[in-house]
């Protein structure tokens, strides 16, 4: 028989262990266990969850907070050719472990502290990116931007416009081209 004072402590310890185990784990290389609950939808028809508060476009999110943008642009990057950036000029990346058809994100937990999911409002402006290639995927009550089906992210190591410090990280993260392909080093 378990004494009364040990019983509640044991129950609390077991409940805590269960909850921590249910959270899943990942490292900053991006391996995660979560998956979206809905397929991608066109950016123009995306309806974000009104109960979810996201930072206003133009704010710089802290590590682990989603990155927001209201525009995607094409720019030339030294050694990479044409890549896609957000409205602040920060490089957008795709992750090889994600899936484009149907759109599915796999970066979760600790991964999202290094690779910030790009969250968008109802509509997104484009320049140099074919609007028909843009879409969204639902992510924990928010709307993550996709390009050619690939969920998009920002790298916390890019602190100024034009930087591509996340290029090739872990052999799985690449700046995304206007067609949704991973960038390749050019001569």
**What would the pLDDT profile of 10-49 be if each residue is shown by its tens digit?**
344 434 333 333 333 334 444 433 333 333 333 332 323 2
Backbone angles phi, psi at 102, to 5 degrees: -75, 160
List the one residue out of 152, 130, 161 whose CA is nearest residue 68.
152
List the one residue out of 33, 38, 53, 60 whose CA is nearest residue 139.
38
Tokens of 16: 């805590």
The pLDDT value recorded for residue 30 is 42
Low-confidence residues in the chain, pLDDT < 50: 1-60
The pLDDT value recorded for residue 113 is 95
Tokens of 112: 């999202």
List the one residue out of 93, 109, 116 whose CA is nearest residue 27.
109
The pLDDT value recorded for residue 64 is 58
Sign of CA dihedral 122, 95, 54, 34: positive
Q: 115-134 b/e with 16+ CB inside 10 Å = b? A: bbbbbbeeebebeebeeebb
DSSP letter for 176, please.
B
The pLDDT value recorded for residue 89 is 95
The pLDDT value recorded for residue 156 is 97
The pLDDT value recorded for residue 87 is 92
The pLDDT value recorded for residue 186 is 63
The pLDDT value recorded for residue 66 is 75
Say which residues have a Cβ less than 8 Å from residue 7's Cβ, sequence separation at least 6.
Answer: none
Q: What is the Cα 138 distance to its own chain's centre?
A: 11
The pLDDT value recorded for residue 34 is 37
- Cβ count near 43 (within 10 Å): 24
The pLDDT value recorded for residue 62 is 54
Tokens of 144: 């993550």
**pLDDT tens, 147-160?**
999 999 999 999 99
- Cβ count near 152 (within 10 Å): 30
The pLDDT value recorded for residue 173 is 97
């Amino acid at each position: 028989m378990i004494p009364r004072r040990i019983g509640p402590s044991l129950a609390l310890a077991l409940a805590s262990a269960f909850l921590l185990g249910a959270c899943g784990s990942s490292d900053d290389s991006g391996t995660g266990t979560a998956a979206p609950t809905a397929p991608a939808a066109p950016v123009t028809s995306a309806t974000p969850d009104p109960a979810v508060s996201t930072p206003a476009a133009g704010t710089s999110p802290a590590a682990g907070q989603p990155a927001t943008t209201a525009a995607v642009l094409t720019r030339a990057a030294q050694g990479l050719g044409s890549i896609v950036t957000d409205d602040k000029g920060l490089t957008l990346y795709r992750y090889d472990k994600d899936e484009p058809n149907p759109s599915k994100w796999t970066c979760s937990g600790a991964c999202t502290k290094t690779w910030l999911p790009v969250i968008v409002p109802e509509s997104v402006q484009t320049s140099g990116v074919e609007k028909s290639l843009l879409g969204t995927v639902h992510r924990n009550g928010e709307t993550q931007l996709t390009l050619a089906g690939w969920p998009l992210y920002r790298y916390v190591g890019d602190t100024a416009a034009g930087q591509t410090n996340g290029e090739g990280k872990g052999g799985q993260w690449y700046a995304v081209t206007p067609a949704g392909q991973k960038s390749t080093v050019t001569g």
